[in-house]
Amino acid sequence: MEQTVRDLRRPPDLVFLHNPERSTNGEPLADACAALDDAVRAGLARAWGVSTWDPRPLLPQLDTTTPRPTVLMIRSGLLVPGPVLDAADQLVHRWKPTDVWGMSPFNASPHDPVWEAARPQVFLTNPPEGCTPLRAAFRTAYALPEVSTIAVGSDNETHLRELLGTLSWGVDYGVVDRYRRLLRARSPQ
């Protein structure tokens, strides 16, 4: 982080602890979070967060002494398995981060044939004319689980503009709730 500050000539706005569920060095989550908390207090970043693909292994590691991240970034969208969605909800509830972001709303592939076969428009209230499955899936990802921001990777300005245009569309939370119940009913406990 010190090198990053030197390279940028300023502290980064946000630093993420990526995939702590895959830690191979056995370092407890609380210790890693405390180190990031200390780094922010030392001026090496303005804030820190945790980015997790699968929050289930993190839940048993949380206790009242684990520092709270400013941002929690979790997978979001229609292709996130039910148990991962439930674990994300639990992590948000227990950790109470300032902000919750989503990532990978297309499960890393907007070109997957599933997006041509699926009809995610059913998750929207009054989908507008020309609402593509990909755009509907992106908008729905804000509700699976509930997030305020979604990170996507693209250098296509038109694609990004289309995705941003979906933010005014309404989500049918009744359909989302029924979908979550179906996922729970199908998921092994």
CATH code for position 78: 3.20.20.100
Answer yes or no: is pLDDT of 23 > 80: no
* Residue 136, domain extent: 2-186
Q: How many domains does the chain have?
A: 1
d(CA 91, CA 62): 9
pLDDT digits (tens, 9 = 90+) for 111-130: 788 888 889 999 999 999 88
pLDDT digits (tens, 9 = 90+) for 172-189: 999 999 999 999 988 765
pLDDT digits (tens, 9 = 90+) for 86-111: 999 999 999 999 999 999 998 877 77
